[in-house]
């Protein structure tokens, strides 16, 4: 109930009192003392009825105000939740061809919220899935194999902390397989970097780049996992450096970190507003 209902109750109470008075006054002039006493009693009852309705309106108003206050508090909490920090990727691309690193990826990300994301850090890894162009990517068994694909395992990272402030300008970092690093296939076997580049180019292997952002938002440890693929369905492009980078069918998720996953985050982060 709102103010309209309260005024309506008061109005009905006053109307009862007015009707009683209007009916009683003519009789007070023409009838005897006994009748007068009856109408005085009726008038008193009418006034008490009006008062009772008024008290009921006050009680209803008090209860209604409490409910409205609860609703307002709920809306404020919801607004705060919506404006909390949230880290996520915005775009990704292969590094320039002249770098001589055909599988290195530059990932852009930003804080989409309205408050700073503190103690932000990230980690990334890569996998190479045996791939058949005649079968759908989402049906590859590797997505279900934690030995070759487990983005959440990268949420517990020891990289340096930073603060990601709300901004339309993205932050960036580089990751992925490097010609100077050790690379393995989906069976965990060490293989030459060039052999994997050739297999990806021939669309025999799917190149998967995945990782995790961790940060503190409104006193809670949060994570955002990401997963990207070098899209083998890039139309009409034979040169690997021109392939598009797209999102995987799995591995893009977010939520609150479990206590054991957040154990390396400083405890003072929990008091961050």
State in Å, rounded, how far the first CA of the chain is from the last one: 36
What is the three-class DSSP state of 102? Answer: coil
Q: Each residue of 95-105: pLDDT tens digit?
A: 999 999 999 99
Rg (CA), the chain: 35
Q: Two tokens at 170?
A: 């993205």
Q: Each residue of 210-226: pLDDT tens digit?
A: 999 999 998 899 999 99
C-alpha to C-alpha distance for 105 and 245, rounded to whole angstroms: 9
**Where residue 25 falls among pLDDT bands split at 50, 70, 90?**
very low
pLDDT of residue 32: 54
Q: What is the 3-state secondary structure (H, E, C) of 114-163?
A: CCCEEEEEEEEEEEEEECCCCCCHHHCHHHHCCCCCCHHHHHCCCCCCEE
Average pLDDT, the chain: 77
Among 48-52, 170-174, 200-204, whose mean pLDDT is lowest? 48-52
Report whether pLDDT(227) > 80: yes
Q: Each residue of 250-271: pLDDT tens digit?
A: 999 999 988 666 655 554 444 3
Q: Quick one: average pLDDT of 112-139?
A: 93
Among 2-6, 44-48, 68-72, 254-258, whose mean pLDDT is lowest? 2-6
Task: Extract the runs of DSSP E, i.e. beta strands, from the chain.
Answer: 87-94, 105-111, 117-130, 162-164, 171-175, 183-184, 190-191, 205-217, 220-230, 245-247, 253-256
**Residue 28 and residue 39 in contact, taking contact as beta carbons nearer than 8 Å:** yes
**Residue 232 and residue 247 in contact, taking contact as beta carbons nearer than 8 Å:** no
Domain residue spans in the chain?
3-82, 87-271
**Where residue 37 falls among pLDDT bands split at 50, 70, 90?**
low
Question: Counting every residue, how long is the chain?
Answer: 273
């Amino acid at each position: 109930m709102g103010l309209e209902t309260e005024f309506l109750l008061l109005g009905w109470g006053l109307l009862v009192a007015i009707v009683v008075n209007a009916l009683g006054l003519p009789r007070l002039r023409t009838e005897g003392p006994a009748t007068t006493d009856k109408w005085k009693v009726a008038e008193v009852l009418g006034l008490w009825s009006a008062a009772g309705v008024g008290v009921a309106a006050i009680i209803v108003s008090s209860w209604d105000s409490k409910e409205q206050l609860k609703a307002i508090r709920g809306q404020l909490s919801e607004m705060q939740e919506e404006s909390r920090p949230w880290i996520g990727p915005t775009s990704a691309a292969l590094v320039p061809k002249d770098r001589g690193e055909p599988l290195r990826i530059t990932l852009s990300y930003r804080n989409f919220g309205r408050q700073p994301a503190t103690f932000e850090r990230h980690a990334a890894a890569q996998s190479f899935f045996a791939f058949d162009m005649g079968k759908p990517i989402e049906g590859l068994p590797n997505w279900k194999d934690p030995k070759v694909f487990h983005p959440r395992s990268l949420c517990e990272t020891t990289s340096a902390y930073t603060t990601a402030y709300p901004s339309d300008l993205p932050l960036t970092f580089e990751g992925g397989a490097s010609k100077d690093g050790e690379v393995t296939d989906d069976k965990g076997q060490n293989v030459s970097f060039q052999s994997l580049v050739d297999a990806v180019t021939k669309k025999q292997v799917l190149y998967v780049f995945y990782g995790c952002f961790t940060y503190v938002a409104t006193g809670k440890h949060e994570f955002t996992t990401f997963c990207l693929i070098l899209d083998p369905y890039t139309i009409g492009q034979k040169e690997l450096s021109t392939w598009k980078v797209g999102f995987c069918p799995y591995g893009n998720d977010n939520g609150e970190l479990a206590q054991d996953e957040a154990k390396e985050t400083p405890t003072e982060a929990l008091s961050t507003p």
